[in-house]
Chains A and B, each alone.
Chain A
Amino acid sequence: MRKLFFGVLCTALFGCTDQAPNKVNDKSQGLVYCAEANPVSFNPQVTTTGSTIDIIANQLYDTLISIDPESGEFLPELATSWQVSEDGKSFTFTLRDDVQFHDTLYFTPTRKMNADDVVFSFNRLFDVYNPYHFVGDANYPYFQSIGLDQLIRQVKKVDEHTVRFDLFNAESSFLSNIATDFAVILSKEYADQLIELEHKQDFDQKPVGTGPYKYREFLRDNLIRYYRHEDYWKHPVYMEQLVYDITTNGTSRIAKMLTKECDITAHPSATQLTVLEQRKDIEVEKAANLNIGYWAFNTEKPPFDNPLVRKALAHSIDFEKIMQAVFYNNGILARSMLPPSSWAFEAQQKMPTYDPEKAKEYLKQAGLEGGFSMTLWAMPVSRIYNPNARKMAELIQRDLRDIGVNARIVEYEWNTFIERVGRHEHDSVLLGWAADTPDPDNFFSPLLSCTATFSGKNPSNWCNPEFDLLLTQALDTNDMEERKYYYQQAQKMVIEQLPLVPIAHGLRFQATSSDIKGVSLRPFGGISLAEARRD
């Protein structure tokens, strides 16, 4: 009896049973990532929310090709090679033949990935006859915003492992759009199975992909659990488990990092970095992110239609002070419209610098030596490219006073703000842009082209046919050197004309436990934990 009692006590306290434990202590083989929000969906095609993309895109799925963050070149992923036709209207991809889809509790694949899956994945985006097109409200925000749904004529299966994309017209940014985190390959077999089961709506919620991890469970406001994909085609996955701890409160996320409940923490704010940097067991990573924070002038309104006035204003502001007070020195001072990590970047010699005397001189040349009054719109939300627009606006306001310009700061609720800026009610505005692809066109066309002016997206209200021609020429060619040349011309033109003053590129922050290796921040798109491991 006594033996039994101790046996029970021992079991209760220490779990020492005669049988070997059915699971090893795999805490060392798992990774906890503290995420800032619940994912909106588990399919990157249907969302552009950054926090969701971080969680799902690179972990669960693969794309046909990817972009090397260093060189900007395309790398083979699910496609081993690709050919572009002479006229640039047709792209043929040769697919890998050894790619397994996830074997999950709700789906067991019977075949490997082939051309059917690729055709299905892209057809869903623009083909209204695809059975999944209208599942999830038929909303594919990224592809619709770049007009990919209008660009692709058809996606055709040539043979089991070859797919051809036919376009209506040639566009050099096509490949980089195919390489974004949004263009993932889904399983057609799984889709067909769900149609049979009449559970089509599960398709975006219970994912099946080819990525390094496979989905296990999602408890809203609590956690997301992935397990290793044993048959991952690219390389062995080190981590047995990947868990996302959903912690919306930023301070709690940092606290969890300090108590080692998180191995990686997303987006700590610049003010919290000092606390994190003091700890030896935590590494704070700062990565250049493809974004730009700028000050745009409404070039249709006098006196901002005069480039001399714009130059005067640009020279009047103290960029260094902004970097200190707004970015806490955790940003990069802009030297062009494009961030330095962009492949077309060229540091501009004529980039405006803080020089109030020169500013006054320009004002004099423009016949405005007496100064004038203007409005300065500051966005009310914090973004990577501008953590505190209000503070930035106040600094600019004070600098402008020195050259006799009286600026009034205007703020509205974010949606109203965007709407009114879209109607060009402002004189000048502090805004920014974060890229989805490293393609430089992503910075120019949506911000400064004439079409952007008409659709209300161009905050400078600047329509310059010469500039637009450069953009079109750059898109019409596939020769990288040639494209680079056109974009360098475009950058030069922006700085000469100054429809907007590029101010800074914000950094993306991440705190990682120092024993975690293999996680690197990329300048664009979501984060990849495929090669994460514990040393």
Chain B
Amino acid sequence: MFAKYAYRRLSLLCFMLFTLTIFTFALNYLFPGELVTNFSGEVNSSYAQTQALVEKYRIEENIFVQYGAFMARMFEGDWGLSLSSGQPVLSHVQHLFPATLELCLYALTVAVIIGVPSGVIASAYHKKWPDKLINSLSLMGFSIPVFWLALLLIMAFCLGLGLFPMSGRIGLLYEIQPVTHFILIDIYLEGFPYGGAAFWDALHHLALPTVVLAMYPTTVLIRFTRDSMLEVLDQNYIKTARAKGLNRSQLIIHHALRNALLPVIKQIGLQFSTLITLAMITEVIFSWPGIGRWLIESIYQRDYPAIQGGLLAVSFFVIIANMLSDFIHSILDPLARNQAHGKV
């Protein structure tokens, strides 16, 4: 049963990725400018260079051959050069994406740690003051635009109180060798240089962007957990358990929680795409050197190869993340495997 489910999901994944590459490939034709430049990122190349590129990209052959050559290059890691920096797009992606991912992961962790228990508490005290408080706070958090929140926090904590730095991942004077490109892990791998000061500094830098980015998913998770919990608590088996004389904490922890959290787990996975979008805004405001800031700058500078590479990487990641959360959900919830068709 599970094998069949997995097969369905994987074929859907392949189809999605295929569509994504078609779209990225098509962008070369849709962007203004020379086709060769869009493909390679080489500007002002000489006649001989252009000819070599035309040959390499099979531009004079039919569209299927071109697509094949495009895919081959993608797999080889030749994603063209960025128009603004002249550096390979793939190396930009490799350097910048972990920073974004790191931020998103921390934000998601914060969201889960705060969101799920708050949702449970709200549902446990349904229509009592903790519920009302959590509800109104989450509504506020949900409604505040992320850029506005970021600016407010910068005003208060960076410029006003001077507690946190307002840009970057780490104080620039700390030279940390990028190995994994996850700053905390890299600092760990280097054996906490500078007597651990770099680690503290990195945590300081992380604090505000993480809080800002975590705000939206936290509120979503609170509301989702609360609703899901209320629904479960309303079911007959809970009523039976209650009739048997179980107290509230026994009811929630032993009987309701697992069932209520199943849809929440799926929701956590789905939050990833929203997170990446919000991360872009957060990155711009906090000058976080991630892929979002780079992508937005590339859009400003009309750096087409960079836009393509960035889009491909981000969409690829979001699709994979969604699929993974779907898988985990289905492992935990046997009923979900019975769905006739895959859903993303």
Contacts and interface: CB of A to CB of B under 8 A. Distances in A.
Contact of A27 (B154, B171, B199): B171
Interface stretch (A17-25, A65-73, A343-351): A17-25
A21 B287 contact: no
A32 B166 contact: no
Interface in B142-179: 154, 158-159, 162, 165-168, 171-175
A30 B173 contact: yes
Contact of B166 (A12, A216, A221, A255): A255
B159 A27 contact: no
B196 A255 contact: no
Contact of A260 (B162, B191, B297): B162
Interface of A: 11-17, 19, 21-27, 30, 32, 216, 219-223, 225, 241, 243, 245, 247, 252, 255-256, 258-261
Interface of B: 85, 87, 154, 158-159, 162, 165-168, 171-175, 188, 191-197, 199, 287, 289, 294, 297
A21 B175 CA distance: 14
Nearest to A20: B195
Contacts of A245: 168, 172
Contact of B199 (A15, A243, A247): A15
Nearest to A254: B159
B19 to A, nearest CB: 32
A258 B297 CA distance: 25
Contacts of A258: 159
Contacts of A22: 191, 193
Nearest to A30: B173
Given A22-B191, A247-B287, A259 B171 contact: no
Given A12-B188, A221-B297, A25 B162 contact: no
B289 A256 contact: no
A243 to B, nearest CB: 4
Decide if the interface of chain B is mainly helix, strand, loop or mixed: loop
A12 B192 CA distance: 8
B289 A27 contact: no
A27 B191 CA distance: 18
Contacts, number: 78
A507 B159 CA distance: 27
Contacts of A219: 289
Contacts of A24: 194-195
Nearest to B190: A22
Contacts of A220: 85, 87
Contacts of A243: 172-173
Given A15-B199, A23-B193, A259-B165, A252 B172 contact: no
A41 to B, nearest CB: 12
B166 A261 contact: yes
Contact of A223 (B158, B166, B172): B172
A259 B162 contact: yes
Given A258-B159, A259-B158, A21 B195 contact: yes
13 contacts: A12-B188, A19-B191, A26-B194, A27-B194, A32-B173, A216-B175, A221-B289, A245-B168, A255-B154, A256-B166, A258-B159, A259-B162, A261-B167
Contacts of B294: 221
Nearest to A249: B287
B194 A21 contact: yes
A526 to B, nearest CB: 21
A270 B96 CA distance: 35
Contacts of A255: 154, 158-159, 166
B173 A26 contact: yes
B158 A15 contact: no
A219 to B, nearest CB: 8
**Closest 7 interchain pairs by CB?**
A15-B196, A15-B192, A30-B173, A21-B195, A243-B172, A23-B193, A25-B197
A104 to B, nearest CB: 14
Contacts of A14: 196
A372 B58 CA distance: 67
A24 B85 CA distance: 34
Contacts of B192: 11, 15, 17, 21
B195 A25 contact: yes
Contacts of A30: 173
A143 B267 CA distance: 64
Contacts of B162: 259-260
A492 to B, nearest CB: 49
Given A32-B172, A220-B85, A252-B287, A27 B166 contact: no
Nearest to B172: A243
A16 B197 CA distance: 11
A27 B173 contact: yes
B195 A15 contact: yes
A17 B196 CA distance: 10
Given A17-B192, A221-B297, A259-B166, 15 more contacts: A11-B192, A21-B196, A22-B193, A23-B194, A220-B85, A223-B172, A241-B175, A243-B173, A247-B167, A258-B159, A259-B158, A259-B159, A260-B162, A261-B165, A261-B171
Contact of B197 (A19, A27, A225): A27
A355 B191 CA distance: 73
Nearest to B166: A259
